[in-house]
């Protein structure tokens, strides 16, 4: 009798092995199969004596130890179990039997077109249509509308009466993303093989089935989790490369993590010892830095203090959204800062510098930001990469809200919406400045000259436009102090003078008093706006001192050659003296990303 049992067990093993080999011929399922461990449930803990299989969220499929079945039957049963793993269906939902039934029907529907094996007669069921919503919609229908008891009996037949087909749940969201990613890799590989075959390429059988799942690091798994499961940050995560080389991280003094938006790269030091939840938190932290444009919003502030202020805000939002857990070194978080903006927190840190210098960002070092800004001099404006990040975060927020994918902090929503509103372009603001100082001149009409008559009403005289007085026309003037030092780019000079000339012509400006400055001032006299549009030679190209140009206009005021209140436009790159005494109504035109070394009382227009 024992000899017969031994032969039966050997035959069952051979049949199961043959069934596994059939599954291995299906490219779509190979990554899942390679990550799965098939075990005999010899003690019938999970599979009853009349059952077939049971699935664990940890990648184990328990099978009946002595069941005799055709290899085609085993192939079909194992494939459905693998598909349940690939769709990350294994979890607890009450009533559990209805959830398992919905998942089995959905997995079977996906498996049937693949034509893997055959369904055992005992596992055949009455026809049932799976709706578009998949297992979730099917489960809700079963709960609200009821289900045929024959389908319930069919679901119980897989593990056997009294057992659950799904044994346990996933430990973390990363585990779910990992199984989904394996399934996606298999589907992509299957499509790739099909395309190669359709194109007429000869592929050896061994090459078709040689598909291995790449062992990704925790950081790449976290990136994939955001792409698959978290729409708010999914598009952002997809646009960044992850660098984990400890030598590269050491080069930039990165102990834990940092981000460079311009290079579209996130550094996560693999030597930091982060676990799955901490990796999720750190990656989300860096992605929010990118999406909220914290790098460019520094705007001349101390980089570390600004970074720390942004960290206080970002970390409080991540805790509220319950994304992962902070790293072991801790994080910047203070409940008193929850309702404050990053600018307000920055002001607090700037006033308490001793306290601020003790803080540490995710770079892991005190006083060092985790926002890396390459080539910051002359390139501190918003970049194209940041514009993409801003749009990606806004789209992700809309998807998350419309899809009911959890709630988001109010402060985060408000900040994303604020950033989504584009600032007024510099040329529009400059036009508004001209409108303020040069309103359209009044056109008085008079009957003193021969009046116009319309052909429709020849008996009614019409007043003729009166030519403005010469004094009124000559009063529409302003001054321009032009920085012609060696640091000024010709493109900036051309664009600024072109804008000034076009707006002056549109607003009937009589003339412009042009003064160029480097180390000394050069008075070019009155220049009509049309001449500024032509090729114009400037003098200077030495050092930068703007005060002599302003003083030159003061002398003209004393001689009655220039209005005592201006207005005045100053075109410079910001590399000038630390203080300028300007008695006129004035405004500055600077290239984007440059700043004045003092607080300006007038408006500042930044040219792109």
**Where are the domains positioned within the chain?**
2-184, 218-420, 469-607
Q: What is the DSSP letter of 605?
A: E
| Nearest alpha-carbon partner for 155 in 114, 96, 113 | 96
| CA distances to 316, 363, 389, 535 from 334, in Å | 8, 19, 27, 58
The pLDDT value given to residue 213: 42
The H-or-E segment that residue 472 falls in is helix 470-474
Query: Which range has the worst mean pLDDT, 144-148, 291-295, 503-507?
Result: 503-507
Residue 481's SS3 state is strand
- Please report which confidence band the pLDDT of residue 308 belongs to, taking 50, 70 and 90 as the band edges: very high
Nearest-Å Rg of the Cα atoms of the chain is 36
Give the mean pLDDT of 407-423.
82
Both tokens of residue 280?
């999720």
The H-or-E segment that residue 106 falls in is helix 96-111
Both tokens of residue 26?
């299906």
Give the mean pLDDT of 397-404.
81
Class of domain 469-607: alpha beta
Give the mean pLDDT of 318-338.
89
The pLDDT value given to residue 468: 59
Q: What is the DSSP letter of 590?
A: E
Distance CA 332, CA 319 (A): 12
What does the pLDDT look like over 551-570, one tens digit per residue?
A: 989 899 888 888 887 799 88
Q: Does residue 451 register a pLDDT over 70?
A: no
List Cβ neighbours of 447 (8 Å cut-off, separation of 6 or more): 461, 463, 464
The highest-confidence range among 154-158, 192-196, 350-354, 588-592, by mean pLDDT, is 154-158
Q: Does residue 17 register a pLDDT over 60?
A: yes
Judge whether 370 and 361 are in contact, CB under 8 Å. yes
Both tokens of residue 176?
């779910």
CB contact burial 279-313 (16+ within 10 A = b; e otherwise): bbbbbbbbbbbbbbbbbbbbeebbbbbbbbbbbbb
The percentage of residues in the chain with a pLDDT greater than 70, rounded to a whole number, is 84
The pLDDT value given to residue 104: 94
């Amino acid at each position: 009798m024992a000899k017969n049992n031994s032969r039966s067990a050997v035959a069952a093993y051979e049949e199961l092995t043959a069934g596994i080999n059939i599954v291995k011929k299906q490219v779509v399922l190979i990554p899942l199969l390679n990550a799965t461990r098939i075990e005999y449930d010899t003690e019938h803990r999970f599979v009853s004596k009349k059952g077939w299989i049971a699935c664990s969220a940890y990648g184990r499929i328990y099978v009946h130890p002595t069941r005799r079945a055709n290899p085609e039957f085993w192939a079909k049963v194992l494939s459905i179990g693998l598909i349940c793993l690939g769709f990350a269906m294994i979890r607890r939902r009450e009533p559990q039997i209805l959830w398992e039934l919905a998942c089995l029907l959905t997995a079977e529907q996906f498996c049937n077109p693949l034509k893997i094996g055959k369904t055992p007669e005992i596992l055949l069921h009455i026809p049932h249509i799976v709706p578009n919503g998949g297992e979730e919609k099917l489960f809700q229908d079963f709960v609200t509308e009821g289900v045929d008891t024959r389908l319930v009996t069919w679901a119980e037949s897989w593990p056997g009466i009294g057992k659950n087909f799904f044994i346990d749940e996933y430990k973390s969201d990363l585990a779910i993303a990992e199984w989904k990613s394996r399934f996606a890799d298999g589907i992509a590989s299957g499509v790739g093989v099909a395309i190669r075959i359709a194109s007429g390429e000869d592929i050896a059988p061994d090459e078709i089935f040689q598909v291995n799942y790449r062992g990704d690091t925790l950081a790449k798994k976290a990136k994939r989790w955001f792409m698959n499961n978290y729409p708010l940050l999914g598009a952002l995560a997809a646009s960044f490369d992850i660098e984990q080389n400890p030598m590269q991280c050491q080069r930039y003094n990165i102990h834990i993590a940092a981000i460079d938006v311009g290079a579209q790269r996130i550094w996560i030091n693999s030597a930091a010892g982060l676990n799955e939840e901490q990796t999720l938190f750190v990656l989300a932290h860096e992605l929010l830095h990118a999406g909220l444009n914290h790098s460019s919003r520094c705007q001349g502030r101390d980089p570390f203090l600004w970074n720390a202020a942004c960290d206080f805000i970002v970390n409080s939002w991540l805790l509220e959204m319950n994304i992962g857990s902070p790293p072991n070194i801790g994080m910047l978080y203070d409940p008193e800062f929850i309702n404050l903006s990053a600018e307000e927190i920055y002001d607090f840190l700037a006033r308490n510098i001793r306290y601020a210098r003790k803080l540490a960002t995710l770079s892991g070092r005190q006083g060092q930001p985790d926002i890396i800004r390459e080539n910051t001099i002359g390139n501190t404006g918003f970049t194209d990469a940041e514009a993409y990040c801003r749009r990606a975060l806004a789209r992700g927020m809309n998807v998350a809200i419309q899809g009911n994918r959890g709630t988001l902090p109010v402060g985060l929503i408000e900040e994303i919406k604020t950033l989504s509103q584009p600032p007024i372009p510099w040329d529009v603001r400059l036009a508004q400045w001209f409108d303020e100082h040069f309103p359209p001149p009044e056109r008085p009409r008079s009957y003193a000259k021969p009046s116009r008559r319309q052909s429709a009403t020849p008996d009614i005289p019409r007043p003729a436009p009166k030519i403005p007085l010469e004094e009124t026309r000559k009063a529409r003037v302003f001054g321009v102090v032009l920085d012609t030092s060696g640091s000024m780019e010709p493109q900036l000079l051309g664009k600024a003078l072109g804008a000034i000339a076009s707006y002056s012509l549109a607003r009937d400006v009589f003339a412009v008093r042009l003064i160029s400055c480097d180390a000394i001032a050069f008075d070019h006299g009155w220049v009509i706006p049309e001449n500024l549009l032509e090729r114009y030679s400037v003098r200077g190209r030495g050092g930068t001192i703007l005060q002599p140009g302003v003083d030159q206009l003061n002398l003209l005021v004393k001689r009655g050659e220039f209005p005592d209140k201006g207005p005045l436009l100053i075109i410079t790159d910001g590399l000038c003296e630390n203080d300028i005494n300007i008695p006129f109504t004035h405004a500055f035109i600077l290239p984007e990303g440059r700043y004045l070394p003092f607080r300006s009382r007038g408006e500042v227009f930044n040219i792109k």
